[in-house]
Structure 1
Amino acid sequence: SARFEQDGKLVVRNVGGTPVAGLIVFDNHAGIRRYAVAGTVKDEVTVGFGSLHDNWAGLLMDLERVLISQGLYEKEARAMIETWRDSWFEEGTRLFYIVPRQAVDSILPLDIQPAPSDVARVFVGRMEIIRPAIQQDLRQAVAANDRPALEKYGRFLDAIAKRAGIRSPVIDSLNAAYINKTKANCGR
């Protein structure tokens, strides 16, 4: 779980019993991408947004290092980052972390016969963080009926509105349009 303190720091708590490796806090606001590597979280870690680095190449290298440390080969790690790049690094604030192997194996059991000598299963978890400033921006955009300001939240608009306790016909309309566009793209 994650929550913001009144001083603006982000507190990330591991509510499971297994340490969570590779925690990275990522923020992209107006094209400025910043991040911090928080490492392995056993219980709880606090990250101040003032400590985030504005270093795109460093982020990619650090994420690659995390993936390699979990068992991927360098080319596999780069391919994974490239595959998810557009989604992972879009506008917003989020946490990336390595889903513990025990959880992966329990949710998606894998049985290969004959058994290979080694299997690396590296799943990257992603948690969207809805900052208080985003909730305030949403309130202002709804009050001004500013559709372009609301459209930038895309598929997250409905979730942000629910978290902020905002109901609005314009949000309902944009969300319905997004769902219809997604259905059309999926051939439905």
Structure 2
Amino acid sequence: MTDVAFSCSCGTLKGVLHDASPSSACHLMCFCKDCRAFARHMGQLDALEPGGGSPIVQVLPARLEITQGAEQIACLRLSAKGLHRWYAACCKTPLANTTGSPRLPFAGMWRPIFAQVEVFGPVVTYGFTKAALPGGPRKDKGLGRMLGGLLKRSLAAYLNGTARQTPFFDAGGAPVATPQVISAEARSAAYRE
């Protein structure tokens, strides 16, 4: 296992993912419209894979350490019930997707922020491919493996007492930055293909 550095585009926010390996993470490509809309809203369409896939690495939040610029962490939601989508306010670099509380210990990290990606191994899951743009895959792959890995990592985190450790929520379970639901106009623009 290896420690892998990550940073936002401008370098103001930096951190480390501890103990990175193919077995401690799930390297995936998400083709859902929401992830693509988030990338578009953040000005990151160039980082998407062919077919509009968002490159993501699912990890345990307890393994994430913000070493610089934690005050730059910001959060938005594409709808009132949408995922918490974390980004660096300084340069609008996507950081991670999480649920609305630390009870489910997972963070879908934006792969382009990592200094090394080979430590995660190859992409093992392709999800929501029915929403892929032309040039993308047309069949989901590895969803069972992704869910099984998520359950296994979550259970291990609960057993070792690290399940609620996360840089995105405080000790009381509140988000470290107030999630802002984007406006109807911004939402319409984000979903425009």
Above 0.5 in TM-score? no
Structure ranking higher on relative contact order (CA contacts 8 Å, 6+ apart):
2
- Which structure is higher in helix share? 1
